[in-house]
């Protein structure tokens, strides 16, 4: 199955929470879930039935996958990798997702959304350790330096994002210099560092059924 290319605001409405898939628009009154806080489609405003346990777990899995914007196959593969590692599976799983280069570019503030971050990576505007990387799923490791390439620094959208990043704090596991457009992945994040509207335990239960 290919990547979803439809209107992303429908995904937020389907899950009933903001997934912040559209950058600055998600923080404005134009946000679709603010104007239409019900599921999409002609039956979206009908009173919903009480969901089954399976449906609750499925929706949590879909919500988490959509936040990070990756395919079901990639998501499942990361879960299987996390389940084989030492530590709390849910936390390890989130760390693997947070270590993807496209996510790190978004977290640093170089991109306004993960979708834009993937585009910047694919177009060769991001370097890791001085080497250009064009694979969004590239695994960033503690100590890695992530920088915008010289060509990328001339792009208006990146300049605007870096300017906006001056007024925001990055996560405690990251550091970013908006002037130089250079960031560093200091360490793997802890669960309490991540303000995500998901219950990863339900996702684990979904795949473990």
Instruction: State how many domains the chain has.
Output: 2
Question: Is the pLDDT score of 7 beyond 70?
Answer: no
Question: Is the pLDDT score of 1 beyond 50?
Answer: no
- Distance between CA 16 and CA 198 in Å, rounded? 12
For the chain, the average pLDDT equals 85
For the chain, give the percent of residues with pLDDT over 70.
77
Question: Is the pLDDT score of 179 beyond 60?
Answer: yes
In this structure, are 167 and 202 located in the same domain?
Answer: no
Overall pTM > 0.95: no
pLDDT band for 14, please (50, 70, 90 cuts): low
Question: Is the pLDDT score of 19 beyond 90?
Answer: no
What is residue 30's predicted lDDT score, i.e. its pLDDT?
59
pLDDT tens by residue, 61-91:
988 998 898 999 999 999 999 999 999 999 9
> What is the domain extent for residue 52?
9-97+198-207
Q: Which residue has the higher pLDDT, 36 or 60?
A: 60
pLDDT tens by residue, 181-206:
999 999 999 999 998 888 999 999 99
What is residue 197's predicted lDDT score, i.e. its pLDDT?
86
- Distance between CA 189 and CA 73 in Å, rounded? 24
What is residue 168's predicted lDDT score, i.e. its pLDDT?
83
Please give the C-alpha separations between residue 193 and each of 82, 106, 109, 187, 199, in angstroms, as whole numbers.
19, 16, 16, 11, 14
DSSP string over the chain: -----S-THHHHHHHTS----SGGGGGSTT-HHHH--S-SSTTTTSPPPPPPHHHHHHHHHHHHHHHHT--HHHHHHHHHHHHHSSS-HHHHHHHHHHTBHHHHHHHHTSSSSHHHHHHHHHTT-EEETTEE---TT-B--TT-EEEE-TTGGG-HHHHHHHHHHTTSPPPTTEEEETTTTEEEE-SPPPGGG---S--HHHHHHHHT-
Q: Is residue 1 part of a domain?
A: no
Q: Is residue 86 part of a domain?
A: yes
CATH classification of the domain holding 150: 3.10.290.10
What is residue 33's predicted lDDT score, i.e. its pLDDT?
59
Q: Is residue 105 part of a domain?
A: yes
Q: Is residue 145 part of a domain?
A: yes
How large is the C-alpha radius of gyration of the chain?
Answer: 18
In this structure, are 93 and 123 located in the same domain?
Answer: no
What is residue 159's predicted lDDT score, i.e. its pLDDT?
95
Query: Lowest-confidence range among 29-33, 48-52, 90-94?
Result: 29-33
In this structure, are 120 and 79 located in the same domain?
Answer: no
pLDDT tens by residue, 107-136:
999 998 899 999 999 999 999 999 999 999
Q: Is residue 2 part of a domain?
A: no
């Amino acid at each position: 199955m290919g990547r979803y290319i439809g209107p992303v605001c429908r995904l937020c409405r389907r899950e009933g929470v903001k997934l912040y898939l559209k950058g600055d628009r998600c923080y404005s009154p134009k946000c679709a879930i603010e104007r239409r806080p019900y599921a999409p489609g002609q039956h979206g405003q009908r009173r919903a039935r009480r969901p089954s346990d399976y449906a609750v777990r499925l929706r949590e899995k879909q919500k988490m996958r959509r936040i990070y914007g990756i395919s079901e196959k990639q998501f499942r593969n990361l879960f299987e990798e996390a389940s084989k590692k030492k530590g709390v599976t849910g936390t390890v799983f989130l760390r693997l997702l947070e270590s993807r280069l496209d996510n790190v570019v978004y977290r640093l503030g170089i991109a306004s959304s993960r979708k834009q971050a993937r585009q910047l990576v694919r177009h060769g505007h991001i370097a890791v350790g001085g080497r250009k990387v064009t694979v969004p799923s590239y695994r960033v490791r503690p100590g890695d330096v992530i920088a915008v390439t010289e060509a990328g620094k001339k792009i208006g959208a990146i300049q605007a994002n870096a300017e906006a990043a001056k007024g925001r704090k990055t996560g405690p596991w990251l550091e970013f210099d908006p002037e130089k457009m250079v960031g560093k992945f200091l360490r793997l994040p802890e669960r309490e560092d991540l303000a995500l509207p998901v219950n990863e335990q339900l996702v684990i239960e979904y795949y473990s059924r």
